[in-house]
């Protein structure tokens, strides 16, 4: 599942990796010269690099290449373009999805650039810059029936990564099932998307709802075993997240505006096969739900 079949982001990702290594070396030298460096926050280290949290299991948005160390994906390419506009490098730090928002709130991370929905509930803790239209469907084993929508999952074993927005959607759909005299949806949460897909292919669950680009990538690695069907929640946005009232929010909004205007944004989305997901302009806290 780790060998990409989608167009490679290797040139941009490799450049970013080299810059990350260089910045890390500078940070280490500074620490040796000044003992106070140990007390600096993430944003103050590595020559003012911006520390972005990301779940490396969220293919094709953020993942580690074949060497197990180099970040690749849609968000990695976008980060490289944003870095040029900001004049500061965006470096990625691996994080479990359900730890990212607490990490932003505590100041551990400067931002998150991973497969995250902007929601009004999450806006109580963090701010968002929306940069992609949502598009979601259901991944099932090839021998399972097609799934139409969330209300079509009564009595079905469904798996999701811990902390995913789908948890609340499934809870609501399950209540609807029970009210109609149907069995509840059986929901299991897993450590990450890799673990969720493994549960699907091994028969522990029957369905996982997920982003359409991620499902297309997973399907390309399991063409005979899996299939996609149906759809849900296609009116929201994927977004970069920031600690509440961070100055970086408006700076990244401006950087997205610039890469949309100069065509870099469209080129990246085209490279990864999701041109229809693009926005005409970034939106701050624009979730409709």
Query: What's the CATH code of the domain at 180?
Result: 3.40.190.10
Q: Which of 190, 210, 232 is the last residue of a domain?
A: 232
In a domain, 79, yes or no: yes
Quick check: 189 pLDDT over 80?
yes
Pair (241, 116) in one structural domain? yes
**The pLDDT value given to residue 234:** 87
Pair (196, 177) in one structural domain? yes
Q: What percent of the chain has pLDDT over 90?
A: 79
Pair (90, 169) in one structural domain? no
Pair (162, 222) in one structural domain? yes
As a whole number, the mean pLDDT across the chain is 87
**The pLDDT value given to residue 70:** 98
pLDDT band at 17 (very low <50, low <70, confident <90, very high): very low
Contacts 24+ apart (CB under 8 A), 179-187: 180/154, 182/154, 182/155, 183/154, 183/155, 184/154, 184/155, 185/153, 185/154, 185/155, 185/156, 185/158, 186/155, 186/156, 186/157, 186/158, 187/158, 187/159, 187/160
In a domain, 52, yes or no: yes
Pair (242, 120) in one structural domain? yes
Pair (251, 185) in one structural domain? no
Q: What percent of the chain has pLDDT over 70?
A: 84
Pair (48, 166) in one structural domain? no
- 3 state SS of 210: strand
Average pLDDT over residues 175-193: 97
Average pLDDT over residues 193-204: 96
DSSP 8-state class, residue 127:
E
Average pLDDT over residues 216-227: 92
In a domain, 195, yes or no: yes
In a domain, 5, yes or no: no
In a domain, 179, yes or no: yes
Task: Select the more confidently predicted residue: 152 or 17.
Answer: 152
Quick check: 202 pLDDT over 60?
yes
Pair (262, 216) in one structural domain? no
pLDDT band at 35 (very low <50, low <70, confident <90, very high): very low
**The pLDDT value given to residue 4:** 40
Q: Which of 194, 212, 232 is the last residue of a domain?
A: 232
Pair (146, 277) in one structural domain? no
- Lowest mean pLDDT, pick from 37-41, 54-58, 85-89, 173-177: 37-41
In a domain, 273, yes or no: yes
**The pLDDT value given to residue 185:** 99
Pair (111, 176) in one structural domain? no
Pair (101, 26) in one structural domain? yes
Task: Select the more confidently predicted residue: 217 or 126.
Answer: 126
Pair (124, 28) in one structural domain? yes
- Lowest mean pLDDT, pick from 11-25, 50-64, 117-131, 198-212: 11-25
Quick check: 23 pLDDT over 60?
no
Domain range holding 57?
Answer: 10-129+237-284
* Model confidence pLDDT, tens digit, residues 248-257: 999 999 999 9
Contacts 24+ apart (CB under 8 A), 36-39: none
**The pLDDT value given to residue 204:** 98
In a domain, 3, yes or no: no
In a domain, 14, yes or no: yes
Q: Which of 190, 215, 232 is the last residue of a domain?
A: 232
Quick check: 198 pLDDT over 90?
yes
* Count of structural domains within the chain: 2
């Amino acid at each position: 599942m780790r060998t990409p079949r989608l167009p490679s982001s290797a040139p941009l990702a490799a450049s970013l990796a080299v810059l990350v290594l260089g910045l890390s070396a500078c940070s280490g030298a500074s620490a040796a010269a000044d003992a106070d460096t140990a007390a600096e926050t993430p944003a103050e280290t590595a020559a003012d690099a911006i520390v972005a949290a990301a779940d490396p299991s969220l293919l094709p948005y953020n993942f580690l290449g074949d060497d197990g160390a180099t970040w690749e994906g849609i968000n990695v390419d976008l980060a490289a373009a944003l870095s040029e506009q900001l004049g500061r490098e965006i470096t990625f730090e691996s994080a479990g999805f359900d730890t990212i928002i607490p990490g932003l709130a505590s100041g551990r991370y400067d931002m998150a650039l991973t497969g995250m929905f902007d929601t009004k509930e999450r806006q109580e803790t963090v701010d968002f810059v929306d940069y992609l239209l949502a598009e979601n469907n259901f991944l099932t084993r090839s021998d399972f029936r097609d799934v139409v929508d969330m209300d079509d999952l009564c009595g079905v074993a469904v798996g999701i990564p811990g902390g995913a927005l789908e948890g609340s959607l499934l809870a609501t759909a399950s209540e609807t099932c029970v009210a109609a005299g149907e069995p509840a949806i059986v929901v299991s949460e897993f450590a990450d998307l890799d673990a969720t897909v493994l549960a699907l292919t091994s028969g522990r669950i029957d369905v996982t709802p997920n982003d359409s680009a991620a499902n297309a990538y997973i399907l390309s690695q399991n063409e005979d075993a899996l299939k996609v069907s149906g759809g849900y929640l296609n009116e929201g946005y994927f977004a970069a997240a920031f600690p509440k009232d961070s100055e970086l929010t408006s700076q990244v909004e401006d950087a997205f505006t610039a890469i949309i205007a100069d065509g870099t944004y469209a080129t990246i989305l085209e490279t990864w096969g999701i041109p229809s997901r693009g926005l005409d302009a970034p939106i701050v806290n624009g979730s409709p739900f």
